[in-house]
Amino acid sequence: MGKRTALYQTHKALGAKIVDFGGWDMPLHYGSQIEEHRQVRRAAGMFDVSHMTVVDLRGAGARDCLRRILANDVGRLPGPGRALYSCMLTPDGGVLDDLITYWMDEQWYRVVVNAATRDKDLAWMREQASAFEVNLAERTDLAMLAVQGPRAVEIVAGVLDSRSREAAGALRPFQAVAAGGLFIGRTGYTGEDGFELILPADEAVARWEELREAGAAPCGLGARDTLRLEAGLNLYGSDMDESTTPLESGLGWTVAWQPEERRFIGREALEAQRARGVARRLVGLVLEGRGVLRDHQKVHAGDAGDGEITSGSFSPTLGRAIALARVPAGTGDRCTVEVRGRELAARVVEPPFVRNGRVLVELD
C-alpha cells in the first residue's frame, strides 16, 4: 500500500482505477481517460495533485538561497504574488527536478516539487539552505487541487467567498495569492487556463465536492499526462533527469544567464556545454500514419544519427500519435520510429502540439 491523499476514499467512491505513482495510490481515471482529457479541453476538469510536495522557505535569506539553487532567477520576478518555473540542477548541470516557485512576500517563498523526487529534493534543498538564513518546512498538512480548462476560472469563482473571488479574478497567468484560507495560483500542467489550489488537507473533501457540483469533472493522472504531452510540457524522469541538462531538454529558456555574477549551481557546466554546442535536443514528433508512439522507441534521423522517444502517446485532440523525443542536434524535419519491428514515418515539429484548445501543428 502506498501513501494516500486526503481524497483517497473519495476517489474510490467515484470508481477510480487506483495505481501507484511515485509511491502514492492515485487515480489513473474514473472510467474513460480520453473523455476526461476532452472534458479539460472543452470545459473543465479537476485533479487531486496532493501527492506533490509543498515546501515553504521563510527568512531573510530565502531569496538568496533560491537564487543559488535554481537555474532560473527569482530575482527577475517583478514583485510578490508571482510564480517562476525552473530546474534545480546538480553541479554537473543535470536536472534534479523541475518545479514552480511562488514569491509571496519578502521573506516567504513557496516551492512545489514532484512527488517522485521528494526525498532527494528535500535533502538537497536542506543541504544548500544551511548556508543561508532560511527556514525550510515541508507542508504535509496541505492538499492541492488543480482545476483546468476554459470554464475553470468561472467554476472556481463560483465556490469562493466574495473576497477570495475578487483576489482570484485579478490573477494573471503565473501569479498567486493567499486569500480566505486558500493559496490560489494561476498555474497548471495541462496547457489550459485554470488554478492550482493549496488548502488544509482536512478541507480537501468538502472543497472537491463543491467544485464537482459546480461542474469540474474529476480527472485522473492518465488524462493529466496526455494533456501535458499535447502541451509540450516535460515530465521529470521521462523527458529530463540528472543525466540531461536543460539545454538538451527544451528548457534553455528557463536558464537565467544574467546577471553573470549569479553563480547558480550547475552554471559552469551549462556554460561549457553551450560553448561547445549542444549535441542533442528535445523535439516533438507527429506520426504520419497509423500506430502508437511509446517511451523508449528508437528514432532514426538519417545521417544525423539516432535518438529515442522520451514521452509518447495517442493524442485525443489531434487524433493521432505524438511524442517528445531526444534526437541529434542535426535532425531535420523528417524521421522514422521503430514500432514493433517496422519503420514508421514521423514529422519533427516544435512543441507544443496544443495550447488553450488550439492545435498548433499542421496535420496532413
Instruction: Give CA separation, 203 vs 39, 104, 209, in Å.
Output: 25, 22, 10
Residue 249, pLDDT score: 98
Distance CA 196, CA 167 (A): 14
The pLDDT of residue 274: 98
Q: For residue 57, what is its C-alpha cell?
A: 522557505
Burial of 180 (0-12, 13-18, 19+ CB in 10 A): middle
Element (H, E) at 71: none
Query: Using CA atoms, how far apart are residues 120 and 66, in angstroms rounded to an integer?
Result: 16
What is the identity of the amino acid at 247? L
Residue 334 has a pLDDT of: 97
CA 191/CA 233 separation, integer angstroms: 8
Q: pLDDT class for 364, splitting at 50, 70, 90?
A: confident
Q: What is the DSSP string of 131-198?
A: TSS-EEEE-TTEEEEEEESTTHHHHHHHHS-HHHHHHHHTPPTTBEEEETTEEEES--SSSS-EEEEE
Nearest to 288 by CA among 312, 317, 321: 321
Question: Is the bond preceding 200 in cis, omega lying within 30 degrees of 0?
Answer: no
Contact 207, 13 (CB under 8 A): no
Q: In the numeric block, which cell numbers belong to residue 175?
A: 501569479
Burial 312-336 (b: 16+ CB within 10 A, else e): bbbbbbbebbbbbbbbbeebeeebb
Residue 244 per-residue DSSP state: S
Q: Under 8 Å CB-to-CB from 176, ≥6 apart: which residues?
A: 81, 82, 83, 102, 104, 110, 183, 184, 185, 186, 187
The Cα 310–Cα 351 span in angstroms is 14
At 63 the pLDDT is: 98
* pLDDT band for position 1 (cuts 50, 70, 90): confident
> pLDDT by residue (tens digit) across 93-123?
999 999 999 999 999 999 999 999 999 999 9
Mean pLDDT along residues 42-50: 98
Per-residue pLDDT averaged across 240-260, rounded? 98
Please say whether the beta carbons of 283 and 349 come within 8 A: yes
Rounded to the nearest integer, the mean pLDDT of the chain is 97
- % of the chain beyond a pLDDT of 70: 100
Alpha-carbon span 104 to 80, nearest angstrom:
5
Which pLDDT value is given to residue 18? 98
148 CB-side CA count, 13 A = 30
Q: If you average pLDDT over residues 319-344, what whole number do you get?
A: 97
Q: What is the pLDDT of residue 363?
A: 83
Does an H or E element contain 313, and which?
strand 306-315
Backbone angles phi, psi at 297, to 5 degrees: -70, 145
β-bridge mates for residue 145, sequence order:
48, 197
Q: What separation in angstroms does the CA of 86 have from each of 94, 196, 223, 252?
A: 13, 17, 24, 10
Answer yes or no: is pLDDT of 273 > 80. yes
Q: What is the pLDDT of residue 95?
A: 98
